[in-house]
Amino acid sequence: MKNYFLIFIMFLSVLSFSQEKFITRNGKVTFNASTPLEVIAPVNNYVSCILDTENGNLVFQLKMISFKFEKALMEEHFNEKYVESDKFPKSTFVGQIQNWDDFTWNGIEQDVVVKGKITMHGIEKEIIVKGVIETSKSTISLSSSFDIIILDFGIKIPRLVRDKISETVKVEVNVTLIQK
């Protein structure tokens, strides 16, 4: 009888893993590479994100081609000349929320530190960023803002347009996850 009970618990554990995952496919990532000469601030509203509340593992994925720019020509150059979207269509972040044990489902904002690897333009880079996590009845919202240096990802700005594009890019992330 005791054994049956244990087996039942085991099945429960297998069934329950899906309850621990929170997901979205409509997260928002913007970046800002503006200079006094040119406003470069595209938006990507189709960012996928998944959080495993079991351990704080956090993964983002986005298609570079989904960044929408104000000027179509800018968007074309972004995909064609800078991030080379046909060779490297996706960017990912794979990491973990560091102080995950402190996380509570209490509806107030909590500061978190996220550590992981960004992969973009075929180059992987370790990154540690600060973020804010907020819970509601059924959702978890994550937001963060951090700077990246695009040369770190092998993206060079031609000398001719060096005054127009910032080499340090401010990235903002906003996602609201719902239970899978």
Phi and psi at 71, nearest 5°, equal -105, 130
| Residue (90 or 170) nearer to other proteins, CB | 90
**CB neighbour class for 31 (10 Å; exposed up to 12, middle 13-18, buried from 19):** buried
Any contact of residue 170 with other proteins (CB under 8 A)?
no
Least distance from other proteins to the Cβ atom of residue 173, Å:
15
Q: Which of residues 12-41 bind other proteins (CB under 8 A)?
A: 13-14, 16-17, 20-21, 23, 25
Applying CB under 8 A, what is the total number of residues that bind other proteins?
48
Q: Which of residues 76-135 bind other proteins (CB under 8 A)?
A: 76-77, 79-81, 84-87, 89, 92, 94-96, 116
Cα dihedral value 6, 10, 15, 21, nearest 10: 120
- Say if CB 47 and CB 26 are below 8 A apart: yes
4: tokens are: 């049956």
- Say if CB 50 and CB 92 are below 8 A apart: no
- Positions touching other proteins (CB under 8 A) are 3, 6-7, 9-11, 13-14, 16-17, 20-21, 23, 25, 48-50, 52, 54-55, 57, 59, 61, 63, 65, 70-73, 76-77, 79-81, 84-87, 89, 92, 94-96, 116, 158, 160-161, 164
